[in-house]
Structure 1
Amino acid sequence: MSTTAIALAADYNKLQQLLETSEELTPEMIADTLESIEGMLEEKLDNTFKFIRNLEGLSKTCDEEAKRLADRKRSFENQAKHLRQYVLSCLLAAGLDKLKTPVNTFTARKGVASVVIDNVELLPDELVDVQMISAPDKKAIKEALESGVEVPGAHIEIGSRSLQVR
């Protein structure tokens, strides 16, 4: 007999097929063999799922660590932003537009002009880009198809089987 879960499942299936065609096996032999293979298969699948849960735990840990590092990055960026503002404030308080040091040249640049929209509705049409987004309502389409209504351009497709473990 094989030792991998898939091989055990195949052996179990072969044995069930053999039972349908063979008259030489006693009910006790059949029960013992099926029980043995089933027990090994159960153990393999349980162990495989322990490993799956471990991998899912590691994935969750990575996700939490990524969030923690993103928060830390944001903190560093905010500190840098505040310190840049502090350096600018020092230049302006000293009445300097530019200061050269052996390492850096600090310049208090003039502000950049930017447009502020007070009310979009008052803008002329030629100065507004219109974007139209259309998205199918899949829930409504599914309900219509399931109730027997023909919906051109859509159909229901059954996905592949999936594993549920409780």
Structure 2
Amino acid sequence: MKIYELTAGYQQVLEMVEEGNSDYLETLEALEDAIEDKAENTAKMIKSLDAQTEVIKAEEKRLADRRKSLENQAKRMKEYLQHNLEAAGLKKVKGSLLTVAIQKNAPSLNITDESSIDRSFFNTPEPVPVLDKKSLLQAIKDGVEVAGAELKQTESLRIR
């Protein structure tokens, strides 16, 4: 992207920067121009790099938005497929190329009332105690009854 015309020497420096060549400062230093001309041409290169940066940022955002849209579409399709398999009473479907199965996820923690949970499951950093969910989950898995918390078992669709 050219927003300013640069002489051959400055154009070479700009190309070195764009290619990631770290020797561009030596090349810039070697250009024999009056300081005023060198300053203006260096400023032109900075403006060109800034313009390229803005174009790249816009493209990154466009691609991130596109990725997010595709992820959401895939998620909705997966939910649709899981719902239909469950409605049909099927846990597994084998195709010629793929197998689709509804499988249990690892048990997770469901907090129903944090204020009822025994204080021994809280870390005590100042100023506010924080629930240690990892130790609480392990205690419940080990069979300890804890008021305000329970195990939650969910299922999800796997495609292999």
Which ranges of structure 1 fall in alignment gaps of 5 or more residues? 10-36, 134-166
SS at match of 1:116: strand
Which ranges of structure 2 fall in alignment gaps of 5 or more residues? 1-26, 128-160
User: What are the superposed Cα offsets for residues 69-97 of structure 1, whole Å, 9 maximum, x if unpaired?
Assistant: 11111111111111111111221222212
Q: How far off is 1:51 after superposition?
A: 0.7
Residue of structure 1 equivalent to 2:88: 94
**Mean CA deviation greater in 73-82 or 112-121:** 112-121
Alignment of 1:140-155 (within 5 A): none
**1:130 aligned to 2:131?**
no
In the alignment, the residues of structure 2 paired with residue 7 and residue 95 of structure 1 have an alpha-carbon distance, to the nearest angstrom, of 76
SS at match of 1:126: helix
On the 8 A contact 1:5/1:45 being kept in 2, the answer is no
Give the counterpart of 2:57 among 47, 59, 63: 63
User: What are the superposed Cα offsets for residues 10-66 of structure 1, whole Å, 9 maximum, x if unpaired?
Assistant: xxxxxxxxxxxxxxxxxxxxxxxxxxx8xx321220111011011011112212211
In the alignment, the residues of structure 2 paired with residue 66 and residue 128 of structure 1 have an alpha-carbon distance, to the nearest angstrom, of 41
Alignment of 1:28-39 (within 5 A): none
Q: Structure with the greater relative contact order (CA < 8 A, sep ≥ 6): 1 or 2? A: 2
Residue of structure 2 equivalent to 1:117: 111
In the alignment, the residues of structure 1 paired with residue 31 and residue 87 of structure 2 have an alpha-carbon distance, to the nearest angstrom, of 80
Q: How far off is 1:5 after superposition?
A: 7.6
Residue of structure 2 equivalent to 1:85: 79
Cα RMSD after superposing both structures: 2.9
Across the two proteins, how many residue pairs are aligned to each other?
A: 101
In the alignment, the residues of structure 1 paired with residue 50 and residue 30 of structure 2 have an alpha-carbon distance, to the nearest angstrom, of 25
On the 8 A contact 1:98/1:106 being kept in 2, the answer is yes
Q: How far off is 1:99 after superposition?
A: 1.3
Residue of structure 2 equivalent to 1:75: 69
Change in 2 beyond 3 A, CA 1:7/1:69: closer
SS at match of 1:80: helix
- Give me the TM-score of the superposition, normalised by structure 1: 0.51
On the 8 A contact 1:98/1:107 being kept in 2, the answer is yes
Give the counterpart of 1:103 among 81, 92, 97: 97
In the alignment, the residues of structure 2 paired with residue 109 and residue 87 of structure 1 have an alpha-carbon distance, to the nearest angstrom, of 13
Residue of structure 1 equivalent to 2:144: none
Greater share of strand? 2
Residue of structure 1 equivalent to 2:40: 46
- Give me the TM-score of the superposition, normalised by structure 2: 0.52
One-letter identity of the residue aligned with 2:72? N
